[in-house]
Structure 1
Amino acid sequence: MRLTKHAHACVRIDSSDGGRSVLIDPGCWTEPQAFAGVRAVLYTHAHADHIDEDLLLAARAADPELAVYTHPELAAEIAALPGLTGPAPVAVRAGEEFTAGGFGVRAVGGRHAETIDGYPDCANLGYLIEGVYHPGDALHVPHGPDERVRTLLLPAGGPWQSLRQAIEMVRAIEPEHTFPIHDAHLSEAGNENFDGWIDRATDTRYARLAPGESAPLG
C-alpha cells in the first residue's frame, strides 16, 4: 500500500497495483487533484476542515459512482446537497466493518474530542483501514482484537488536543509507524517542536510527509 498526505487531515491510501484507493477527509484546504481516480471517500465528521461540499460535488460530477461513507448524521446532510449525483452516501456506525475502495474498513470511536464545556458535541468516526488508523478529531484508542494499528495518522494540532495527549495516544496504541496529520494550524516552528517531542518521547518510527508526498506502507 501507499500513503499520500494531502493538506491538513486529508490522506489517500492506494494499493501497490493501483486497483484499490480511498480518500479520507478532503476538507476546505484539500487540493482537488487528491480525488483523481479515487474509488471511495471516507468522512470522519462534518467540520469544514474535514469535508468540503464543493469539492465533493465536483468529484461526484466527474465520477457519479464515487462511493461515500460516513456516520448517519453527515450521510443525511450529504444526501440532501442540491445537485449531488450518483448513489446516496453509505451510513456507517462505530463497530461496523465494510469495504470501501477495495479496502477492508472498521469504523471506531464515535464522538469528537471535547475542547471545553462539552463543545463540540458532534459525531466523529475513526477509520481503521487494514492496519492504518485515521482517528479524525478524536483521541480514541482502538482496543478490540481486530483493531491492531500498524500505522497511526496522528493529529498534530487542534484546539481539542495537547502535545501531552498526542504523546499518550502514541504510547497507548504502540504503532509501528506514525505520520502526523491535522497540522494546518501549526507554524513551521510548531511542526518542528511537535516532531521532536514525538520522536523523543515515543517508541515508533515517526516521519512527516509534506502535502503531496507519499510513503510505502508495509
Structure 2
Amino acid sequence: MKLTKFSHSCVRLEQDGAVLVLDPGAFSEVEEALEGATAVLVTHEHPDHIALDRVVAVLQGAPGIELWAPQAVVDAVLGALGEDTEGRVHAVAGGEEFTAAGFAVRTYGGQHALIHPVIPMIANVGFVIDGSLYHPGDSLIVPDGIEVETLLVPVHAPWSKLSEVVDFVTSVRAARAFQIHDGLLNETGLGMVEGQLTRLSAPYGTEFRHLAVRESVEA
C-alpha cells in the first residue's frame, strides 16, 4: 500500500484505487488528505486528531465516505452532521475487526495515555491495517498476536517521554517506523528525538526514518 504522511498524526493510505485516511486533525491538511477518500479512521476525540467542522464538511460533500471512531467521536460527528441516514458513521472499540474501503482493520487498546491524574481519561483506539501497519493514536499500546511491518510512532506528546517512546518501538519491533504526532516539535527538538529513535531502535531490527509532509512510501 502507498502511505503518504501529512502534518502531525494524519496519514493517507492508497491501494487498488481505495483511499483510507487516519486522524485528519486540526494541525493537518484535512481537505487535501481526504480528497477522494472512501473511509476515515479516527483514534480519539482530541482536535489534533479530528478537525470536526472540516471533516464534517467533507462528509457532507462526499456522501460515499464512511467513518469509524470511538463513541465520543461518533456522537460529535453525528451531532454536527445531523441524522446519518446511510449508516456511514460507525462506533468502534478495542478488540474488533472490520473492513474499511477494502482494507482489513483490527483495533487495539481502548484508552488514551495518561496526561495527568486530574485530566479525565478518554477512549483511544489503535488501528492495524491489513495486518501490517499500526497507527496507535495517543497510546503506546503494543498490539498482541501480530507482527507489525510498519509502525507509526507518536514521537512527542504532553503524555509521553522519550524513554517510553523508545520502549514502545523496541517492543513492537517493526521492520520500519515513521514519525507521527510531531506537530508540537520545532526542527531542533524533532532532530534530537528522531536521532535517538534511529540509534536506539536499530539493534532491535527497526529502521526508523523521518517522513516529510506529503512524502509517500510503500508500506
Structure 1 partner of 2:184: 185
Query: Any idea what the Cα deviations from partners look like across 1:2-34, whole Å, max 9, x if unmatched?
Result: 11001100001111x3x2221000011221211
Query: Any idea what the Cα deviations from partners look like across 1:133-158, whole Å, max 9, x if unmatched?
Result: 000000101112xx321100000110
Shift of 1:54: 1.7
1:134 aligns with 2:132: no
Give the letter aligned to residue 143 of structure 2. Answer: P
Shift of 1:205: 1.2
CA contact (8 A) 1:198 1:206 kept: yes
Shift of 1:59: 1.0
Query: Any idea what the Cα deviations from partners look like across 1:22-51, whole Å, max 9, x if unmatched?
Result: 100001122121111011000000000000
Give the letter aligned to residue 152 of structure 1. Answer: L
Runs of 4+ in 1 over 3 A off after TM superposition: 82-88
Structure 2 partner of 1:48: 47
Structure 2 partner of 1:107: 107
CA–CA separation in structure 1 for the residues paired with 2:108 and 2:4: 22
CA contact (8 A) 2:18 2:101 kept: yes
Give the letter aligned to residue 74 of structure 1. Answer: V
CA–CA separation in structure 2 for the residues paired with 1:59 and 1:201: 40
Structure 2 partner of 1:215: 217
Alignment length, in residue pairs? 213
Give the letter aligned to residue 117 of structure 1. Answer: P
CA contact (8 A) 1:64 1:87 kept: no
Distance change >3 Å, CA 64–CA 213, structure 1 → 2: same
- Pairs within 5 Å for 1:11-90: 11-15=11-15, 17=16, 19-31=17-29, 32-82=31-81, 87-90=87-90
Query: Any idea what the Cα deviations from partners look like across 1:85-143, whole Å, max 9, x if unmatched?
Result: 65341111211000011100001100000022153400000000021000000010111
TM-score, structure 2 as length reference? 0.93
1:93 aligns with 2:93: yes
The worse-fitting range, judged by mean Cα deviation, of 77-86 and 105-114 is 77-86
Unmatched tracts of structure 2, length 5 or more: none
Give the letter aligned to residue 213 of structure 1. Answer: E
Distance change >3 Å, CA 209–CA 81, structure 1 → 2: same
The worse-fitting range, judged by mean Cα deviation, of 91-100 and 55-64 is 55-64
- Helix, strand or coil: the match of 1:193? helix
Structure 2 partner of 1:164: 163
Structure 2 partner of 1:197: 196
CA contact (8 A) 2:65 2:88 kept: no
Aligned sequence identity (%): 38
Distance change >3 Å, CA 49–CA 87, structure 1 → 2: same
Shift of 1:179: 0.2
Structure 1 partner of 2:151: 152
Q: What is the Cα-based RMSD across aligned positions, in Å?
A: 1.4
CA–CA separation in structure 2 for the residues paired with 1:148 and 1:97: 16
CA contact (8 A) 1:126 1:133 kept: yes
